[in-house]
Chains A and B, each alone.
Chain A
Amino acid sequence: MEKGRTYTLKIWRQNNSSSKGAFKTYTIENISPGSSFLEMLDILNNELEAKGEDPVHFDHDCREGICGMCSLFVNGRPHGPEEEITACQLHMRSFKDGETIVIEPWRAKAFPVIKDLVVDRSAFDRIIQAGGFISVNTGPLPDANEIPIPKQNADLAMDAAACIGCGACVAACKNASAMLFVSAKVSQLALLPQGNAERKRRALAMVDQMDQEGFGACSNTGACAAECPKGIDLTNIARLNREYLTASFAGAE
Chain B
Amino acid sequence: MKIDAKIPSGSIAEKWSKHKFNLKLVNPANKRKYDIIVVGTGLAGASAAASLGELGYNVKAFCYQDSPRRAHSIAAQGGINAAKNYMNDGDSVYRLFYDTVKGGDYRAREANVYRLAEVSNNIIDQCVAQGVPFAREYGGLLSNRSFGGAQVSRTFYARGQTGQQLLLGAYSALSRMIAAGKVKMYPRTEMLDVVLVDGKARGIITRNMVTGAIESHSAHAVVLATGGYGNVFFLSTNAMGCNASAAWRAHRKGALFSNPCFTQIHPTCIPVHGDQQSKLTLMSESLRNDGRVWVPRTTELAEKVRKGVLKANDLPEEDRDYYLERIYPSFGNLVPRDVASRNAKYVCDEGRGVGETGLAVYLDFRDAIKRDGVNTIKAKYGNLFQMYEKITDDDPYKVPMMIYPAVHYTMGGLWVDYNLMTTIPGLYAAGECNFSDHGANRLGASALMQGLADGYFVIPYTIGDYLAGIGQAKVDTSHNAFKEAEAEVKKRIDTLLNVKGTKTVDQYHKELGKLMWDYCGMARNAEGLKFAKAEIQKLRQEYWQNVKLLGTNEEMNMTLEKALRVADFMELGELMVDDALMREESCGGHFREEHQTEEGEAKRDDENFAFVAAWEYKGENKPAELHKEELVFENVKLTQRSYK
Contacts and interface: CB of A to CB of B under 8 A. Distances in A.
A132 B504 CA distance: 42
Given A135-B176, A144-B124, A151-B137, 18 more contacts: A32-B273, A39-B278, A42-B506, A46-B504, A49-B548, A61-B72, A63-B239, A63-B278, A66-B75, A68-B67, A133-B173, A141-B125, A142-B129, A143-B125, A145-B86, A154-B133, A154-B135, A161-B133
A250 interface: no
Interface in B128-171: 128-131, 133-142, 158-159, 161, 164-165, 168, 171
A159 B119 CA distance: 29
Interface in A26-42: 31-32, 34-36, 38-39, 42
A122 B86 CA distance: 40
B126 A141 contact: yes
Contacts, number: 214
B626 interface: no
B499 interface: no
Contacts of B393: 34, 91, 93
B172 A138 contact: no
Contact of B239 (A62, A134, A148): A62
A67 interface: yes
Contacts of B281: 63-64
A85 B54 CA distance: 37
B240 interface: yes
A52 interface: yes
A141 B136 CA distance: 19
Contact of A118 (B122, B277, B390, B556): B556
Contact of A151 (B140, B273, B559): B140
B586 to A, nearest CB: 32
Given A85-B390, A136-B129, A142-B129, A54 B551 contact: yes
Given A38-B278, A63-B278, A1 B131 contact: no
A133 B161 contact: no
A34 B274 contact: yes
A144 B142 contact: yes
Interface string B82-97: 0010100000000000
A188 B131 contact: yes
A192 interface: yes
Interface in A93-152: 93, 114-115, 118, 120-122, 124-125, 128-130, 132-138, 140-145, 147-151
29 contacts: A1-B356, A16-B556, A32-B276, A35-B274, A39-B276, A49-B559, A55-B559, A59-B66, A61-B65, A61-B70, A62-B240, A63-B239, A63-B278, A64-B75, A64-B282, A67-B239, A68-B67, A89-B387, A91-B390, A125-B67, A125-B69, A125-B187, A129-B179, A134-B131, A138-B460, A144-B128, A144-B134, A144-B142, A154-B135
Contacts of A124: 67
B210 interface: yes
A34 B394 CA distance: 12
A60 interface: yes
A18 B239 CA distance: 30
A-B CB proximity, top 7 nearest: A148-B140, A133-B172, A144-B128, A158-B133, A138-B51, A129-B179, A61-B239
B67 A194 contact: no
Given A61-B241, A64-B75, A69 B278 contact: no
Contacts of A138: 47, 50-51, 54, 126, 173, 456-457, 460
Nearest to B278: A39
Contacts of B507: 46
B259 interface: no
B158 A165 contact: no
Contacts of A31: 276
B555 interface: yes
Question: Which residue of B133, B240, B550 has the most chain A CB atoms within 10 A of its CB atom?
Answer: B133
Contacts of B460: 138
B240 A149 contact: no
A136 B51 CA distance: 10
B176 A133 contact: yes
A112 B271 CA distance: 38
Given A43-B276, A114-B556, A128 B131 contact: no
B558 interface: yes
Interface in B434-466: 456-457, 460
B75 A151 contact: no
B279 interface: yes
B125 A54 contact: no
B461 to A, nearest CB: 11
A134 B127 CA distance: 11
B276 A140 contact: no
B179 A66 contact: no
A38 to B, nearest CB: 7
Interface string B370-397: 0000000000000000010011010000
Contacts of B456: 138
A193 to B, nearest CB: 9
Nearest to A92: B276
B65 A67 contact: yes
Nearest to A190: B131
Contacts of B556: 16, 57, 114-115, 118
A210 interface: no
Given A53-B550, A69-B65, A62 B133 contact: no
